[in-house]
Chain A
Amino acid sequence: MKKIDRIIKHHGYRKERIIQILNDIQSIYNYLPKDVLEYAGQRLGMPLSGIYSIATFYSAFSLKPRGEHLVTVCMGTACHVRGAPSVLSRLEDRLRIETGGTTEDNQFTLKTVNCLGACALAPIVVVDDEYHGQTTVNKVDRLLKEYEKKKKD
Chain B
Amino acid sequence: MKRRRKTEEFRLHLLVCAGTGCVANHAFDIKEELQKEIARKKLSDEIGVVTTGCQGFCERGPIVIVQPDGIFYQRMKKKDIPHLVEEHLLKGRPVKELMYIPSPREAPVPKMMDIEFFKHQRLIILRNRGRLDPENIDEYIGFNGYQALEIALTRMTPERIIKEVKASGLRGRGGAGFPTGMKWDLCRREPGRIKYIICNGDEGDPGAFMDRSVLEADPHSVIEGMTIGARAISVHKGFVYVRSEYPLAVKRLKIALSQAEEYGLLGKDILGTNFDFDIEVVQGAGAFVCGEETALIASIEGKVGRPRQRPPYPSEKGLWGKPTNINNVETWANVPMIISRGAKWFSSIGTKTSKGTKIFSLVGKINNTGLVEVPMGITMREIIYDIGGGIPQGKEFKAVQTGGPSGGCIPKNMLDLPIDYESLTQAGSMMGSGGMIVMDEDTCMVDVARYFLNFTQEESCGKCPPCRMGTKHMVYTLDRKTKGKGREGDIQFLESIAENVKLSSLCGLGQTAPHPVLTTLRYFRDEYEAHIKEKRCPALVCKDLISYVIDDKLCGGCTVCAKNCPSDAISGEPKKIHTIDQQKCTKCGICITVCPPKFNAVKKVSPAVK
* Chain A residues close to B by CB (< 8 Å): 14-20, 22-23, 53-54, 57-61, 75-82, 86, 89-90, 93, 113-122, 124, 131-133, 136-138
Contacts and interface: CB of A to CB of B under 8 A. Distances in A.
B245 A113 contact: yes
B246 interface: yes
A59 B593 contact: no
B590 A117 contact: no
B245 A117 contact: yes
A114 B288 contact: yes
Interface in B445-478: 448, 451-452, 455, 459, 461
13 contacts: A16-B302, A20-B283, A57-B304, A76-B206, A78-B207, A114-B455, A117-B212, A117-B245, A118-B58, A120-B363, A122-B363, A131-B23, A138-B593
Contacts of B315: none
B401 interface: yes
B588 interface: yes
A117 B359 CA distance: 14
Given A80-B451, A120-B58, A137 B437 contact: no
Given A18-B302, A78-B363, A122-B363, A58 B285 contact: yes
B369 interface: yes
Given A57-B287, A78-B206, A120 B59 contact: yes
Given A59-B286, A115-B204, A118-B20, A137 B588 contact: yes
A53 B588 contact: no
Interface in B396-442: 401, 404, 435, 437, 439
Contact of B209 (A22, A75, A119): A119
Contacts of A80: 206, 448, 451
B439 A81 contact: yes
Contacts of B205: 115
Contacts of B401: 77
B365 interface: yes
A78 B208 CA distance: 9
Interface residues of A: mostly helix, strand, loop or mixed? helix
B285 A60 contact: yes
Nearest to B282: A20
A116 B305 contact: no
A136 B461 CA distance: 33
Contact of B24 (A76, A133, A136, A137): A133
B209 A117 contact: yes
B61 interface: yes
B20 to A, nearest CB: 5
A77 B364 contact: yes
B25 interface: yes
Contacts of B301: 16
Contacts of A53: 304
A138 B590 contact: yes
Interface in B117-135: none
B500 interface: no
Contacts of B305: 57-58
A42 B112 CA distance: 58
Contact of B588 (A14, A90, A115, A118): A90
Contact of B593 (A54, A113, A132, A137): A137
Contact of A121 (B58, B212, B303, B448): B58
A78 B285 contact: no
B307 interface: no
Given A117-B20, A119-B369, 15 more contacts: A17-B302, A59-B286, A76-B207, A78-B206, A78-B369, A80-B448, A80-B451, A81-B448, A86-B588, A89-B588, A114-B288, A117-B209, A118-B21, A118-B24, A120-B59
B331 interface: no
B334 interface: no
A88 B205 CA distance: 20
Interface string B277-291: 000001111111000
A106 to B, nearest CB: 23
B127 to A, nearest CB: 21
A119 B590 contact: no
Given A61-B285, A121-B24, A137-B588, A81 B304 contact: no
A132 B25 CA distance: 8
B259 interface: no
A20 B404 CA distance: 27
A20 B245 CA distance: 14
A79 B586 CA distance: 21
Given A16-B301, A57-B304, A59-B286, A81 B443 contact: yes
B16 to A, nearest CB: 17
Contacts of B288: 114
B97 to A, nearest CB: 21
A83 to B, nearest CB: 8
A19 B302 contact: yes
Nearest to A72: B245
A104 to B, nearest CB: 20
B589 interface: yes
A120 B17 CA distance: 14
A61 B593 CA distance: 37
B361 A119 contact: yes
B61 to A, nearest CB: 7
Nearest to A59: B286
Given A119-B361, A120-B59, A121-B58, A114 B285 contact: no
A121 to B, nearest CB: 6
Contacts of A15: 302
B244 interface: yes
Contacts of A137: 588-590, 593
A118 B435 CA distance: 12
A115 B209 CA distance: 9
Contacts of A17: 302
B174 interface: no
Contacts of B347: none
B566 interface: yes
Given A15-B302, A77-B401, A81-B364, A117 B246 contact: yes
Nearest to A90: B588
Contacts of A120: 21, 58-59, 61, 363, 369-370
A151 B414 CA distance: 53
A75 B207 CA distance: 10
Contacts of A60: 244, 284-286
A23 B281 CA distance: 13
Contacts of A89: 588
A73 B566 CA distance: 21
Contact of B207 (A77, A90, A131): A77
Interface in B343-381: 361, 363-365, 369-370
Given A77-B435, A93-B566, A16 B300 contact: yes
B299 interface: yes
